[in-house]
A = this chain, B = another copy of it.
Amino acid sequence: MAYFDAASAVPLHPVARQALLASLDEGWADPSRLYREGRRARMLLDAAREAAAEAVGCRADELVFTSSGTRAVHTGIEGALAGRRRVGRHLIVSSVEHSSVLHMADAHEAGGGTVTQVAVDRTGAAAVESYAGALRPDTALACLQSANHEVGTEQPVAAVAEVCRAAGVPLLVDAAQSLGWGRVEGDWSLLAASAHKWGGPSGVGLLVVRKGVRFAPQGAVDERESGRAAGFENIPAIVAAAASLRAVRAEAAQESVRLRELTARIRARVPEAVPDVEVVGDPERRLPGIITFSCLYVDGETLLHELDRAGFSVSSGSSCTSSTLTPSHVLKAMGVLSEGNVRVSLPPGTAGQDVERFLEVLSGAVAGVREKLGAPVADTVVREDVLVVDSLGKRCPIPVIELAKVIGDVPVGGTVRVLSDDEAARLDIPAWCEMRGQEYVGEEPAERGSAYVVRRLS
């Protein structure tokens, strides 16, 4: 059994566990109290703040602990927007930010603010020029992740921070995926992160607001954590979070080389082992442990179940997973195939032989799902030069499978119209065309759903 979903959460680091246990006895009291139990709790909290600040590369009084990374993002964005409300209400985010950032952007828009979503390229990277172009005189805040959580692509944070700084606009960096690997370089203004991504416990996030950044906490506040995180401090978890951050950093240089080699191996071998696969994300500028690919004619949920049965826990940005019927906004923004999507994110310590076993299992698992769904093998009889495929009511990946089955039935130069009301088709039919060297003509409104028109080129 191998857990390959580190980008979602990793098991508690042994150092975190040890620190948590030790501070359950020492850190349960109210650190604002004057008696010994309170003073002891305060000392632990102060020491954890110093350690975390050192790891981030900021002053201790710039860093507060929140109850989660999501809360750090929400508080950070809200406070920075309010602090610069006089300047304006324009917010810039990339289109591949974590949902916590995009939810805040939605809330900001619902409250009358304006939002620019900066597009990314096919690798998932935002361009510095796009951020520069999005800056306006009324821009209150820009947000950019240090690295993407679904495809691992690193973002040009330092360069974006520079153009923001030149325009007098603070940059908030969501460093959730990268903080365990190292400091975020560049002259950013705010930073958010989450402990359970680096092997710390759940329930701890951190928010850094650089001195000099205008910041106005919103809603009800209290005297705790500089008025930026209301509620009783969770000191045992905070201590464990800080201790494990130091511990993973000590191992980071060596472990990143090792994991990078393992993900490079997956990147190279998956297309050999599995036909009709698109590996996504930047091959070079990326996190060490994440590798993501999409498999044509495969339904993500079924593939995940197959891999789970074979002992591998991975994640998927496909639609057709239990909780959602729309594909990941990240894959959508990148314009890559979303069907049969698999994100492999290796936790530190992953054994090479587990990766080998995964590669062995994968091709069989994909083939099995394709067989069940009746994916096309080869069958070409020319009939007409305009062919309509009715995939209404059918979910991803069926529309693409049906398209692939009939494309050989029209002559070269002929077209196939796929009728579909599945959200994923809008992304996956063009992606299929690109992979297959066919022409994607476009989408037309239909009585129900849309008609996706494809011209056979070969």
A→B interface (CB under 8 Å)? 1, 3, 5, 8-12, 17, 20-21, 24-25, 28-30, 32-38, 67-71, 74, 78, 99-100, 103-104, 106-107, 194, 196, 201-203, 205, 219-223, 230-237, 301, 304-305, 307-308, 312-315, 321-323
> How long is the Cα–Cα vector from A236 to B104 in the complex, in angstroms?
27
Q: Is the CB of A237 within 8 A of B202?
A: yes
Q: What residues on B are CB-neighbors of A221 within 8 Å?
A: 103
For A20, A21, A29, the residue with the greatest tally of chain B CB atoms inside 10 Å of its CB is: A29
> How long is the Cα–Cα vector from A113 to B201 in the complex, in angstroms?
38
Q: What residues on B are CB-neighbors of A321 within 8 Å?
A: 34
Q: Is the CB of B220 within 8 A of A103?
A: yes
For this complex, 9 residue pairs linking A to B, each with C-beta atoms less than 8 Å apart, are: A20-B24, A28-B201, A35-B304, A35-B312, A100-B231, A103-B220, A103-B221, A107-B220, A196-B232
Q: Is the CB of A231 within 8 A of B67?
A: yes
Residue of B nearest to A195 (CB): B232
Q: Per a CB cutoff under 8 Å, which of B33, B194, B236 touches A5?
A: B33
> How long is the Cα–Cα vector from A11 to B38 in the complex, in angstroms?
12
Q: A24-B17, A222-B70, A236-B202 are in contact. Are A230 and B33 (CB under 8 A)?
A: no
Q: Per a CB cutoff under 8 Å, which of B11, B33, B74, B234 touches A28?
A: B11
> How long is the Cα–Cα vector from A25 to B348 in the complex, in angstroms?
17
For A201, A307, A322, the residue with the greatest tally of chain B CB atoms inside 10 Å of its CB is: A201
Number of copies: 2
Q: What residues on B are CB-neighbors of A301 within 8 Å?
A: 34
Q: What residues on B are CB-neighbors of A222 within 8 Å?
A: 70, 99-100, 103
Q: A5-B33, A219-B107 are in contact. Are A234 and B203 (CB under 8 A)?
A: yes
Q: What residues on B are CB-neighbors of A32 within 8 Å?
A: 322-323
Q: A24-B17, A34-B321, A308-B36 are in contact. Are A230 and B5 (CB under 8 A)?
A: no
Q: A11-B28, A34-B301, A202-B233 are in contact. Are A220 and B308 (CB under 8 A)?
A: no
Q: Per a CB cutoff under 8 Å, which of B99, B100, B107, B308 touches A35?
A: B308
Given contacts A70-B232, A203-B234, list 19 more A-B pairs with CB under 8 A: A1-B36, A3-B35, A5-B29, A9-B28, A9-B232, A12-B24, A12-B28, A28-B201, A34-B301, A34-B321, A35-B304, A35-B314, A67-B203, A68-B231, A68-B234, A70-B230, A100-B220, A100-B230, A103-B220
Q: What residues on B are CB-neighbors of A10 within 8 Å?
A: 28
Q: Is the CB of A220 within 8 A of B74?
A: yes
User: Nearest Cβ in chain B — how far from A398, in angstroms?
Assistant: 20
Nearest 4 CB-CB pairings of A with B:
A68-B231, A67-B67, A203-B234, A70-B231
> How long is the Cα–Cα vector from A70 to B12 in the complex, in angstroms?
26
Q: What residues on B are CB-neighbors of A1 within 8 Å?
A: 36
User: Nearest Cβ in chain B — how far from A40, in angstroms?
Assistant: 11
Q: Is the CB of A5 within 8 A of B232?
A: no
Q: What residues on B are CB-neighbors of A232 within 8 Å?
A: 9, 68-70, 194, 196, 202
For A28, A38, A67, A223, the residue with the greatest tally of chain B CB atoms inside 10 Å of its CB is: A67
> How long is the Cα–Cα vector from A127 to B262 in the complex, in angstroms?
68
